[in-house]
Amino acid sequence: MADVLSQSQIDALLKSMQDTPPKEEAVETDLDEILDQLNNEESQVQEDHYSKYDFYSPRKFTKEKIRLLKSIFDNYARILTSQVNGIFRTTTDITVLELRETRYYEYVNAFHENDCMTIVETHVEGKGKSNVPLMAYLSPGLTLTLVSHMLGGTESFLKTEGEYRYTDVEMALYKRIMDYIVHALGDGFSNYINAEFKIAKVETNPSMVQEVGLDETVVIVVLNVDISGLAMERIRLCLPGTLLEHIFKIIDNRKHLARGFAYENNQDIIMQHLRASEFPMTGQLGIVRLDIEDLYHLKVGDVIDLNREKDSAVKLYVGRQPWFTGKMGVFKKNIAVRIEERIMQKEDLPKEDTAEEDLLEEVPREEASGEKLPESIDVSAMADSPDADAKIESPNTGVMAEDVQELLEDVSSEYSLAE
């Protein structure tokens, strides 16, 4: 038989039912609490996507420069993929996983104690070696897998522990692998600058590297290497801000040169180099056309008529361009030519230039050289002069007149016959 409740028990039961909410209301409160928790988690996840800006260390490079680096290393990743697949006969896919601007200490803190850091020197064509190197890191798993392929291994992937230490043989092969990876950097930058990258040394203790200050701004490039779909390895590159400023300055200068102007005016430097250059000066007595039969019967002692007067002007060539006309004579017992006038079409010059030329032509030759030429030219002395067959050198410093000797060899005989 069922138990019979007393009046006090019935009152207590009714009171308890009034104090507790219904089940449906309890379920609704539980759902509200769960929704609030989900919203809080979503807001926290959204906040994680936003990076806090550090006003004490502002960004050094604009978004345009970062995009330029992204395109350079995208090209580098494609080139490196084809080279690694061809040289090591494996299947890899290399892509740019991350490219960000940060501080150097963040790059160093990611290394383990036994990791190897490769110091790479940058040589830019026309600018020499950069004072600040870049740093490169290859994960041990990728290194050992490529070493295995170099030694005839299979398509398997070699896993390593967190702090793996290379043996002497593996270190030698590691340097050889890094040679291929570093050399491909020049091909990646080839669309913008002509740069060559060379390995300076391999540092087995990255924390001791003092090439760059810990607080210096750097750009870290992380390349993801997919090895036959078996594993994901990393190649980390660190480009110091000083090196990037040097590279960006060269790229900007070349852009402005392509548009028609440059930052630097090199006119004085160019003229300084031109002043020290030498040009051959040739004197032309005349031009004669002979038949082949006449050329065939030429012998020593024959006279060739140039169809010109004895005192006619001689045309002087600088290189292949006619510049002056002059008169032949003797100067310090050597055959010489006194410049009479300058060959130039005056109608092609502006009025100011023609006026300056007229003033220059009025200046006597004695004032220009400091020595007075004889008024009368002793032609007979040319044949008797012992220096007539010697090497002829122009009195003007730096102007060679070796070609004049060949053209003036028969002058003495011609004038003696004319007399």
With 80 as the cut, is the pLDDT of residue 18 above it? no
**C-alpha distance from residue 15 to each of 10, 18, 23, 24, 222 (Å):** 9, 5, 16, 19, 68
Helices (H) and strands (E) in the chain, counts: 14, 11
State the residue range of the domain holding 186. 63-259
The tens digit of pLDDT for each residue in 317-351 reads 888 888 888 888 888 888 888 888 888 754 445 55
Report the C-alpha gap between 182 and 199 in whole angstroms: 7
Confidence of residue 73 (pLDDT cuts 50, 70, 90): very high
Do 230 and 288 fall into the same domain? Answer: no
Report whether pLDDT(399) > 50: no
Name which of 90-94, 249-253, 408-412 the model is least confident about. 408-412
Query: Cβ-count burial of 280 within 10 angstroms (0-12 exposed, 13-18 middle, 19+ buried)?
Result: middle
Structure confidence at residue 49 (pLDDT): 59
For residues 88 and 369, which has the higher predicted lDDT (pLDDT)? 88
Is 111 in the same domain as 180?
yes
Kindly tell me if the per-residue pLDDT of 370 is higher than 50. no
pTM across the whole model: 0.50
Note the pLDDT of residue 48.
55
What SS3 class is residue 58? coil
**Percent of the chain beyond pLDDT 70?**
68
pLDDT band at 408 (very low <50, low <70, confident <90, very high): very low
- Tell me whether residue 12 is in a domain: no
CATH of the domain at 293: 2.30.330.10
Q: What is the pLDDT of residues 193-231, one digit of tens each?
A: 888 999 999 988 887 777 888 888 899 999 999 988 888
From 213, 228, 259, give the residue that closes a domain. 259
Query: Are β-strands 134-138 and 195-203 bridged in parallel, bridged antiparallel, or unpaired?
Result: unpaired
Mean pLDDT calculated for residue range 168-191: 91
Q: Per the domain annotation, does 188 fall within a domain?
A: yes
Total number of domains in the chain: 2
160 and 223 share a domain?
yes
| Residues 107, 174 within the same domain | yes
Residue ending a domain, among 259, 290, 319, is 259
Q: What is the mean pLDDT of the chain?
A: 75
Q: What is the band of 271 on the pLDDT scale with cuts at 50, 70, 90?
A: confident
80 lies in the same domain as 209: yes
CA pair distance 367, 304, nearest whole angstrom: 38
272-286 pLDDT, tens digit per residue, is 888 888 888 888 888
Highest mean predicted confidence (pLDDT) among 95-99, 103-107, 296-300: 95-99
